[in-house]
Structure 1
Amino acid sequence: MTDSSDAILTRLLSLHPKVIDLGLERVLDLLHRLGDPQEALPPVIHIAGTNGKGSTQAMLRAGLEAAGARVHAYTSPHLVRFHERIRLAGDLIPEADLAALLAECEAANGADPITFFEITTCAAFLAFARVPADWTLLEVGLGGRLDATNVVDHPRLTIITPVSIDHQQFLGETLPEIAGEKAGILKRGVPCVVGPQPEAALEVIEARAARLGAPLLVHGQHWQVEAQAGRLIFHDETGVLDLPAPRLAGPHQIQNAGMAVAALRALGFGESACEAALTRTEWPARMQPLRQGPLVEAAPGCELWLDGGHNPAGGAAVAATLRTLPPRPTHLVAGMLNTKDVGGYMRPLARVAESLTAVEIPGEPNTLPAETTAAAARDAGLPARVADSVLAAVTDLAAEHPGARILICGSLYLAGRVLAENG
Structure 2
Amino acid sequence: MPRSYAVQCLPTPYTSLAGINDAVDKLNGLQTNFAVLEAVRKSGGNANKNALPEMIEFVERSGYNPKEFDDLNMIHVTGTKGKGSTCALTESILRNYQGKKQIKTGLYTSPHLMEVRERIRINGAPISQELFAKYFFEVWDRLDSTGDKSKPGYFRFLTVLAFHVFKQEKVDVAILEVGVGGAYDSTNIIHKPVVCGVAALGIDHVSVLGSTLGEIAWNKGGIFKHGVPAVSSAQPEEGLTVLQSRASELGTSLQVIPAFNSQQLGNVTIGLAGKHQVANAALATALCRIWIEKVLGEKIGGAGESIPKEFVQGLSSARWPGRGQIMVRDDKPKITWFFDGAHTAESIHVCAEWFKDASQRSTQGPVKKVLVFNCTGPRDGDLLLGPLAKIQSSVHFDEAVFTPAITFASNTYKGDLVNNNTPLDLELKTQKTLAACWTKQVALAGAQGEFKTTVLPSIEHSVNWIDDYVKTETEKGASQVQVLVTGSLHLVGGVQSVLGCEIA
Q: Fold conserved (TM > 0.5)?
A: yes
- Map 1:310-349 → 2, pairs under 5 A: 310-325=343-358, 327=360, 330-349=369-388
**In the alignment, residue 370 of structure 2 is paired with which amino acid?**
H
Counterparts of residues 22-421 of structure 1 (less than 5 Å): 22=48, 23-36=51-64, 38-41=66-69, 42-67=72-97, 68-110=102-144, 111-112=149-150, 114-219=152-257, 223-226=258-261, 228=262, 233-234=263-264, 242=266, 244-267=268-291, 268=293, 269=300, 271-292=308-329, 297=331, 300-325=333-358, 327=360, 330-353=369-392, 354-355=396-397, 356-363=400-407, 364-365=419-420, 366=422, 368-369=427-428, 370-381=431-442, 383-388=451-456, 389-395=461-467, 397-398=469-470, 399-400=472-473, 402-421=479-498
Deviations 1:258-306 (A, max 9, x none): 11122223334452332123211111111211123xxx63x62343211
> Would you say the 8 A contact 1:333–1:394 is kept in 2?
no
Give me the CA root mean square deviation.
2.4
The Cα offsets for residues 307-331 of structure 1, whole Å up to 9 and x where unpaired, read as 1111111211101212433635743
Identity of aligned residues (%): 28
Name the residue aligned to 2:21: 6
The 10-residue stretch of structure 1 (110-119 or 394-403) with the greater mean CA deviation from structure 2: 394-403
User: Structure 1 384/152 Cα, relative in aligned 2: closer, same or farther at 3 Å?
Assistant: farther
Determine the C-alpha separation between the residues in 2 that align with 1:24 and 1:190.
Answer: 20
CA contact (8 A) 1:250 1:324 kept: no
Structure 1 residue ranges (4+ consecutive) displaced by more than 6 angstroms after TM superposition: none
CA distance 1:303–1:104, shift in 2 (3 Å): closer
Corresponding letter in the other structure for 2:316: T
Task: Verify the 8 A CA contact 1:64 1:273 in the aligned structure 2.
Answer: no
1:237 is aligned to: none
Give the Cα–Cα distance (whole angstroms) in 1 for the partners of residues 173 and 152 of structure 2. 27
Secondary structure of the residue aligned to 1:150 is helix
Q: Calculate the TM-score normalised by the size of structure 1.
A: 0.88
- Structure 2 stretches lacking a partner, 5+ long: 1-12, 41-46, 294-299, 302-307, 408-418, 444-450
CA contact (8 A) 2:234 2:259 kept: no
Structure 1 stretch 337-346 or stretch 251-260: which is displaced more?
A: 337-346
For the 8 Å contact 2:244–2:253, the answer to whether it is kept is no
In our comparison, the structure showing a higher alpha carbon Rg is 2
Q: Secondary structure at the match of 1:159?
A: strand
Normalized against structure 2, the TM-score is what?
0.75
Secondary structure (helix, strand or coil) at the match of 1:35 reads coil
Pairwise CA distance, 1:150: 0.6
Tell me: higher relative CO, structure 1 or 2? Use CA pairs within 8 A at least 6 residues apart.
Answer: 2
Tell me the distance in 1 between the aligned counterparts of 2:389 and 2:352.
9
Structure (1 or 2) with the greater helix fraction: 2
CA separation of 1:91 and 1:288: change in aligned 2, threshold 3 A: closer
Deviations 1:161-203 (A, max 9, x none): 0111111121111111111111110111111110121111111
Amino acid at match of 1:395: D
Number of residue pairs the alignment of both structures matches:
405
Displacement, 1:155? 0.3
Q: Secondary structure of the equivalent of 2:103?
A: coil
- Return 5+ residue gaps in structure 1 as ranges: 235-240
- Contact map agreement 1:260 1:277 (CA 8 A) in 2: no
Deviation at 1:361, TM superposition (A): 2.3
